[in-house]
């Protein structure tokens, strides 16, 4: 099994919290579609799609339909709003019942869940080997999420490239600029953060207690994973993971990083000025921009690098999604639609970026003037084209079939370590938990 992937874009317009969550791969909303399927290649030039979030993913589909209709005027998309959690439940149910005729032609899939579903339910997917999609036009690390045994099963859509976003006004009070936080290590970040805290009273970072988001982002920044290429857990004796957890612990203990209880509390720390920075998937910019009084006071740069870890870089990701074609699809029509829209239309991406902040992975879109426009909210910086450059340097890592079980087990281990447990013992217990889930 192979894993690799990469690319991305960035948010433009102000996005509410629900949008930001959708961009990172979450789902919401009620299912407004009829029935549970509707694909099947009946030759009527219609495709059915499952996707979540009307203002983000579904809006992008509606614009893609318009683009495709210019050459295919009788083409129609029938989009059913299905929350991500329900997409996963439906796929599991249909695979177990072998009712593949209930599948739509296309469905949206969280990147971190893509390999798991292809490996566990191969009969639900069509490969894209015969399509006109040029996968070299997407970041390698992003393509990897939907690649199994060197076969592509997905077309990347929104991205999760990670960025460091900083309040330049707070940095200025402490005598720093964004350049001081560019191309640095996490040790240097902690040192700078302690000084900013001492001089301004503001910590730099925040996040949910008990979440493995930050350590896992650090892990991927070094091209490391919780699993090896054969899908076996590598939680024990994983030097990059140990370094990431140690770094996270030092961030919290130094006061540079504050832990909160909920996602809403995390967002509030950004918009109300409790913290002066964040390291997160680029979709977080939508929430940041909801604080209109902070316009012009933010800047974006790359992420800190793990100290002393082989393969460490300043680039990583968190979240994102890709389009899958089902085994029940009108495969030829679905492949052509995706190839000429999400994998082939600069017009589409020029439309959805400023209107919905839909951050894409298709690299040629970054050549557009839209991506190069200065953004006043971020001090006039062309942050969208900047993040595209970050995306192309994100290391690939393996997710496999038990990615979420691995993350959950590591989250428990981190909580225990923060409460005084021995790191090696806590990680050994986490690995045992994952091995039990795998039936090993």
Q: How would residue 56 be classed by pLDDT, with cut points 50, 70 and 90?
A: confident
Q: Are residues 174 and 255 in the same domain?
A: yes
Strand-pair partners of 109: 322
The answer, yes or no, to whether residue 360 has pLDDT greater than 50, is: yes
Residue 313: inside a domain, yes or no?
no
Give the per-residue pLDDT at 412: 96
Residue 309: inside a domain, yes or no?
no
* Tokens coding 105: 């032609």
Count of domains for the chain: 2
Whether the CB-CB separation of 8 and 353 falls below 8 Å is answered with no
Give the per-residue pLDDT at 55: 82
Query: pTM (2 decimals)?
Result: 0.80
For 94-142, the pLDDT digits (tens) are 999 999 999 999 999 999 899 999 999 999 999 998 899 999 999 999 9
Nearest-angstrom CA–CA distance, 117 and 104: 16
Q: Are residues 227 and 278 in the same domain?
A: yes
Give me the chain's average pLDDT, please: 89
Q: Are residues 203 and 230 in the same domain?
A: yes
Which phi and psi angles does 55 have, rounded to 5°? Answer: -80, -10
Nearest-angstrom CA–CA distance, 385 and 148: 30
* Tokens coding 269: 């720390």
Q: Are residues 143 and 205 in the same domain?
A: no
Whether the CB-CB separation of 253 and 419 falls below 8 Å is answered with no
Strand-pair partners of 186: none
For 69-94, the pLDDT digits (tens) are 999 999 999 999 999 999 999 999 99
Residue 398: inside a domain, yes or no?
no
Q: Are residues 171 and 140 in the same domain?
A: no
Q: Are residues 156 and 167 in the same domain?
A: no
The answer, yes or no, to whether residue 4 has pLDDT greater than 70, is: no
Residue 145: inside a domain, yes or no?
yes
Nearest-angstrom CA–CA distance, 364 and 382: 16
The phi-psi region of residue 60 (left if phi > 0; otherwise alpha if psi is between -120 and 50; otherwise beta) is alpha
Q: Are residues 75 and 112 in the same domain?
A: yes
DSSP per residue, 108-121? EEEHHHHHHHHHH-
What distance lies between CA 213 and its chain's CA centroid? 11
For 285-324, the pLDDT digits (tens) are 888 988 999 999 999 999 999 999 999 999 999 988 999 9
Which phi and psi angles does 49 have, rounded to 5°? Answer: -140, 140
Give the per-residue pLDDT at 276: 98
Nearest-angstrom CA–CA distance, 158 and 421: 38
Residue 7: inside a domain, yes or no?
no
Number of residues in the chain: 440
Q: In which domain, by residue range, is 179 found? A: 162-301
Residue 427: inside a domain, yes or no?
no
Residue 225: inside a domain, yes or no?
yes
Q: Are residues 238 and 352 in the same domain?
A: no
Domain harbouring 362, CATH code: 3.40.190.10
Helix axes 59-69, 346-356, angle to 10 degrees: 150
Domain closes at, from 335, 351, 385 = 385
Give the per-residue pLDDT at 21: 34
Q: Are residues 183 and 251 in the same domain?
A: yes
Q: Are residues 167 and 291 in the same domain?
A: yes
Give the per-residue pLDDT at 102: 96
Q: Are residues 98 and 174 in the same domain?
A: no
Q: Are residues 230 and 211 in the same domain?
A: yes
Domain closes at, from 337, 366, 385 = 385
Whether the CB-CB separation of 403 and 227 falls below 8 Å is answered with yes
Handedness of CA 117, 222, 191, 183 (dihedral sign): negative
Residue 28: inside a domain, yes or no?
yes
Domain closes at, from 273, 301, 329 = 301
């Amino acid at each position: 099994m192979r894993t690799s992937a990469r690319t991305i874009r960035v948010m433009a317009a102000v996005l509410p919290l629900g949008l930001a969550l959708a961009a990172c791969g979450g789902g919401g909303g009620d299912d407004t579609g009829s029935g549970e399927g509707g694909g099947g290649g009946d030759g009527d030039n219609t495709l059915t799609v499952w996707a979540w979030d009307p203002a983000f993913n579904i809006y992008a589909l509606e614009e893609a339909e318009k683009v495709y209709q210019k050459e295919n005027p009788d083409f129609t998309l029938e989009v059913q709003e299905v929350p991500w959690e329900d997409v996963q439940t439906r796929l599991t149910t249909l695979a177990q019942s072998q009712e593949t005729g209930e599948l739509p032609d296309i469905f949206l899939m969280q990147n971190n869940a893509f390999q798991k579903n292809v490996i566990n339910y191969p009969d639900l997917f069509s490969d894209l080997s015969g399509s006109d999609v040029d996968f070299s036009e997407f970041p390698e690390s992003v393509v990897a999420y939907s690649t199994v045994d060197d076969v592509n099963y997905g077309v990347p859509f929104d991205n999760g490239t990670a960025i460091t976003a900083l309040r330049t006004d707070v940095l200025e009070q402490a005598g720093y600029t964004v350049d001081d936080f560019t191309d640095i290590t996490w040790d240097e970040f902690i040192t700078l953060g302690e000084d900013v805290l001492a001089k301004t009273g503001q910590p730099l970072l925040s996040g949910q207690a008990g979440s493995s988001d930050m350590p896992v982002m650090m892990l991927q920044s070094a091209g490391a994973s919780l699993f090896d290429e054969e899908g076996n857990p590598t939680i024990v004796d994983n030097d990059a993971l140990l370094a990431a957890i140690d770094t996270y612990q030092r961030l919290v203990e130094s006061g540079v990083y504050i832990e909160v209880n909920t996602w809403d509390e995390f967002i509030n720390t950004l918009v109300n000025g409790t913290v002066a920075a964040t390291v997160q998937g680029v979709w977080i910019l939508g929430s940041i921009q909801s604080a209109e009084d902070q316009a012009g006071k933010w800047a974006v740069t790359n992420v800190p690098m793990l100290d002393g870890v082989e393969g460490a870089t300043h680039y990583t990701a968190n979240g994102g999604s890709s389009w899958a074609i089902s085994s029940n699809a009108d495969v030829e029509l679905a492949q052509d639609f995706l190839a000429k829209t999400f994998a082939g239309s600069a017009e589409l991406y020029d439309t959805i970026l400023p209107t919905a902040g839909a951050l894409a992975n298709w690299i040629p879109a970054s050549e557009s003037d839209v991506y190069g426009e200065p953004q006043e909210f971020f001090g006039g910086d062309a942050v969208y084209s900047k993040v595209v450059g970050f995306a192309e340097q994100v290391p690939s890592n393996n997710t496999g079939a038990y990615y979420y079980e691995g993350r959950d087990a590591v989250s428990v281990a981190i909580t225990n370590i923060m409460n005084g447990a021995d790191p090696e013992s806590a990680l050994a217990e986490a690995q045992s938990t994952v091995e039990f889930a795998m039936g090993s």
